[in-house]
């Protein structure tokens, strides 16, 4: 039992480090956006519409995207929850506001201008709607103190946020390998969120009873405490 637990912890740690590493390289690339350099990969060909409404969605997205990943990592960490419960509540509220008010609307707006065309636009638009729905459900279930459900919704939400990481890892690997078949773009833009979500749902089903340990941690010992958690 012990070795499997250790392997799981090592895997979680490596995944967390990968997310932070990709997030850091995304932010380091911002030197190309302040001021916007239209010769760089992402901004190439966008000058015609950039200075209209697009720029506002873009700036908001540049801020809210990396923030959501860092907050998400902290919020799903059970040790953080156990040791800093008030911070979990505060950062959870911050995350919900960041995702619902900034990340989702900006991602949705930008999806209409997706570089890879209509198929990518539809994928990003659905992704933004699902990201908004999952965090709204996460918030609702926490307020209702349905903590096992809360954990499931927030894991779905974090999985969707991680699509930004998976997408960059896949395209980065394809660039290094100089591999660019015609099916790559649609496969990655849809697969980056559908695949992990399917894996997560299968894991939920296989583990019929979701972690009640997490729920125990969240449920206040004082029975008279207000039911509003977030
Ligand atoms: C999960 C919800 C998200 C949606 C729906 C979404 C949507 C989009 C869309 C549509 C674009 C433009 C793509 C194109 O024109 O081809 C974009 C770009 C971008 N997104 Fe997101 N995004 C999400 C999450 C994130 C996260 C979590 C990050 C954090 C790293 C992020 C960081 C960025 C950045 C920095 C860009 C600009 C391009 C670049 O420098 O890589 N996004 N996003």
Record the tokens describing residue 84, joined without a space: 């800093």
* Concatenated DSSP letters of 165-211: HHHHHHHHHHHHTT---TTHHHHHHHHHHHHHHHHHHHHHHHTSS--
Position of tokens 């911002």? 30
- Give the total residue count for the chain: 230
Record the tokens describing residue 93, joined without a space: 């509220």
pLDDT of the residue at 211 = 52
pLDDT of the residue at 221 = 40
Alpha helix stretches (DSSP H) within 29-180: 47-49, 55-76, 78-83, 85-97, 104-111, 118-143, 147-161, 163-176
Mean pLDDT by 10 residues, the chain (230 residues): 73 96 98 97 96 97 98 96 97 98 98 95 98 98 97 98 98 96 96 98 80 45 36
Distance (Å) from CA 162 to ligand 1 centroid:
11
Residue 129, phi then psi, degrees to nearest 5: -65, -40
pLDDT of the residue at 2 = 59
pLDDT of the residue at 219 = 40
Ligand 1 atom at minimum distance from 69 CA: 27
For a mutational test of ligand 1's pocket, the pick from 18, 19, 21, 26, i.e. the residue with the most ligand atoms closer than 8 A to its C-beta, is: 26
pLDDT of the residue at 208 = 65
Ligand 1 atom at minimum distance from 32 CA: 40
For a mutational test of ligand 1's pocket, the pick from 24, 72, 107, 121, i.e. the residue with the most ligand atoms closer than 8 A to its C-beta, is: 107
pLDDT of the residue at 220 = 41
Report which of 57, 22, 189 is spatially closest to residue 121, judged by C-alpha positions: 189
pLDDT of the residue at 4 = 66
Distance (Å) from CA 138 to ligand 1 centroid:
22
Ramachandran class of 145: left when φ > 0, alpha when ψ lies in -120 to 50, beta otherwise: left
Position of tokens 């911050």? 94
């Amino acid at each position: 039992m012990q070795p499997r637990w250790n392997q799981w912890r090592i895997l979680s740690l490596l995944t967390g480090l990968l997310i932070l590493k990709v997030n850091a390289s995304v932010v380091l690339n911002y030197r190309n956006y302040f001021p916007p350099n239209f010769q760089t990969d992402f901004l190439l060909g966008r000058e015609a519409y950039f200075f209209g409404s697009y720029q506002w969605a873009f700036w908001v997205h540049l801020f809210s995207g990396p923030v959501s990943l860092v907050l998400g990592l902290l919020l799903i960490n059970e040790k953080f929850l156990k040791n800093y419960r008030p911070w979990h509540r505060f950062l959870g509220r911050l995350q919900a506001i960041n995702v619902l008010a900034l990340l989702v609307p900006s991602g949705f707006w930008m999806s209409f201008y997706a570089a890879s065309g209509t198929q990518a636009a539809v994928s990003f638009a659905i992704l933004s709607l699902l990201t908004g729905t999952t965090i709204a459900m996460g918030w609702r279930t926490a307020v209702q103190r349905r903590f096992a459900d809360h954990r499931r919704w927030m894991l779905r939400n974090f999985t969707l946020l991680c699509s930004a990481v998976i997408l960059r890892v896949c395209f980065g690997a394809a660039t290094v390998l100089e591999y660019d078949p015609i099916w790559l773009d649609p496969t990655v833009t849809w697969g980056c969120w559908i695949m992990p979500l399917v894996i997560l749902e299968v894991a939920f089903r296989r583990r019929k009873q979701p972690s009640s340990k997490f729920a125990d941690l969240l449920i206040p010992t004082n029975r008279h405490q207000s039911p509003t958690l977030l």
